[in-house]
Structure 1
Amino acid sequence: MLSRLVIGLMSAAGAAVMSVPGVATADDPPPLPNVNAFAPVKTSEYAVMDNQWYAFSTPDGITCVLQRDGGYGCSGAIPAAPGGANMVSGGTGAPGFASAAAPLFSVVDGAKPLPANTRISYQTVSCGTDGVMTACVDGRNQSGFVISPAGSYVVGDRPSGIKPSVRIG
């Protein structure tokens, strides 16, 4: 039943998703932080969606997921996101910002908070927080994103017009 509800919600949300260009600056974004320097958490404690996702919430209440198929992302009120985007995601390609009618990962009710100075990792993707900033990095291509009140950005921008790579269920 939950799977059908999620599929229906994601179909509706997917239809509303529109690409938002990355941060428009003359300078390159700062490098991604080394989230692998943070202490790991026990991944199994964050399993949701019949163990297909590992979900956590950031210190500022954004919901993030790592999918077993390699996709990863966060949705919610992303601070300083370009164009007011409410989602950032990555997968086999470079990450990017997008907007959806509703936060895409809100289907994960009550995601467990990721404590400060910890990380969660699955395969080549690691996400971590220092208690203010949250970052996700894909070791395959050294791309990822940072969510921070000081500015949210991606490293390894996907070309404009390419939709986020998130699979539901």
Structure 2
Amino acid sequence: MWSRVLLAGAGLAAAAAIALPLSASAEPAPPPPAVPDVNALPLVSPVEYSVMNDRYFAFGTADGLTCAFDRTSGAYGCSGPIPAAPGGANVVSGGAFGAPGFTSAAQPIFQNLGPVKQLPPNTRMSFRTVSCTTDGVATTMCVNAQDQTGFVLTPSGSFVLSSNPLLERPEGTNPYAN
């Protein structure tokens, strides 16, 4: 009888010891905000934004960024006063594959492009698998449909979209079915 009581007591103590650290743990970090479907926005003709003898498609934003697509390599990015950029970065760029990254440059990297045309708010410019948009105030984003990477630049926080839902997903889930 006592052995059952002791065993039950030990089991309750073990359960309490396990439950206590779980209840004291911090809340998980909130997920990044949902990114709107950039490809649902009206498309502008990138030809109208061609610069440097058609080597680049480039556009400006209302908050002073210059964004460009390199027509040769498929690279894309924005430079200028990036709002709430990690480490005070003034450049964000990516290639045809993989997540983009933030960095700083001593001089604007797209200064040789010359004057660029402003992209109208809530429209998109696309080249290959990358589409970019701006809200005409202070938010700019680019998304690469190839691997679902890209970036969001906004005063409340600028960040990189770096996960590929086909590769990084909860175990047992199917990316092709909801």
Tell me the matched-pair count: 133
Shift in Å, 1:40: 0.8
Shift in Å, 1:103: 1.5
Matched, 1:140 2:146: yes
Per-residue CA deviations over 1:53-97 (Å, capped at 9, x if unaligned) read 100001111000011121100000101001000000111221110
Matched, 1:36 2:55: no
Distance 1:116 1:28, change over 3 A: same
Matched, 1:75 2:82: no
Question: Is the strand fraction higher in 1 or 2?
Answer: 1
The residue that corresponds to 1:110 in the other structure is 115
Moved over 6 A (4+): none
Conserved in 2, the CA contact under 8 Å of 1:29 and 1:154?
Answer: no
Q: Secondary structure at the match of 1:44?
A: helix
Q: Secondary structure at the match of 1:40?
A: coil
Q: Aligned partners of 2:88 and 2:41: how far apart in 1?
A: 29
Shift in Å, 1:110: 1.5
Correspondence list, 1:1-169, <5 A: 26-68=29-71, 69-91=73-95, 92-132=97-137, 133-156=139-162
Larger RCO of the pair (alpha carbons < 8 Å, separation 6+): 1
Conserved in 2, the CA contact under 8 Å of 1:32 and 1:155?
Answer: no
Bigger Rg over Cα: 2
Conserved in 2, the CA contact under 8 Å of 1:33 and 1:135?
Answer: no
Structure 2 portions without partners, runs of 5+ = 1-28, 164-178
Conserved in 1, the CA contact under 8 Å of 2:51 and 2:114?
Answer: no
Shift in Å, 1:31: 3.4
Per-residue CA deviations over 1:13-68 (Å, capped at 9, x if unaligned) read xxxxxxxxxxxxx4442233211121111110001122121000011110000111
**Identical positions, percent:** 57
